[in-house]
Amino acid sequence: IFSLNMGSLVAGAKYRGEFEERLKAVLEDIKGSDGEILLFIDELHTIVGAGKTDGAMDAGNMLKPMLA
């Protein structure tokens, strides 16, 4: 069981797309775990719009395919 701290992912992201790259890396690790990672996201509703910049995808839209 892993807990994803969205604040930590966003913190220090100075450049456009940096947050997106961080979240992509986490999601790739989860995909490659063959179902052995259970991800807990406290306050899930707060991810809508998290990390959103012009031309970048927000966290909510990045997670949608994995939640479907």
Predicted confidence (pLDDT) per residue in 22-58, tens digit: 888 998 999 999 989 998 988 777 777 665 666 566 7
Q: How far apart are CA 42 and CA 28, in angstroms?
A: 20
Select the more confidently predicted residue: 50 or 68: 68
Residues 38, 1 contacting (CB under 8 angstroms): yes
Assess whether pLDDT exceeds 60 at residue 68.
yes
- Report the candidate in 63, 57, 46, 65 with the shortest Cα–Cα distance to residue 8: 46
Select the more confidently predicted residue: 54 or 13: 13
Q: How far is CA 63 from the centre of its chain?
A: 7
What pLDDT was estimated at residue 25?
A: 93
Task: Calculate ∠ Cα 20-25-30, nearest 5°.
Answer: 125
Q: How far apart are CA 66 and CA 36, in angstroms?
A: 14
Does the pTM of the predicted model rise above 0.85?
Answer: no
